[in-house]
Structure 1
Amino acid sequence: MPKHGYNNVDEAKQDVLKYILKHYNTKRGHSYNNYMTPTAAENAA
């Protein structure tokens, strides 16, 4: 989160989406997927 917050809701939404698509789905393994990332599990199917 920016030090002084966001100027509007759209900026916050863009940051959340970027986090999910760039970090959560590509770098964070999940026990449900045998510790593979969601992206890797989807590509393996």
Structure 2
Amino acid sequence: MPKYGYNSFKEAEFDCINYILKHYNTKRGHSYNNYMTPTAAETAA
């Protein structure tokens, strides 16, 4: 999050979506997926 917040809702929305698609789904393992990332679990299925 920027130090002084976002200038608009669209900026905040873009950062959230970017975080989910580029970090959460590709780098963070989940115990439910046997500690695989969501992206890796989908391609393995």
TM-score, normalised on structure 1?
Answer: 0.97
- Partner secondary structure for residue 39 of structure 2: helix
Unaligned runs of 5+ residues in structure 1 are none
Unaligned runs of 5+ residues in structure 2 are none
Match in the other structure for 1:23: 23
Runs of 4+ in 1 over 2 A off after TM superposition: none
Aligned residues with identical type, % of pairs: 78
TM-score, normalised on structure 2?
Answer: 0.97
Taking the aligned partners of 1:2 and 1:14, their CA distance within structure 2 comes to 13
Match in the other structure for 1:36: 36
Q: For this pair of structures, how many residues does the alignment match?
A: 45
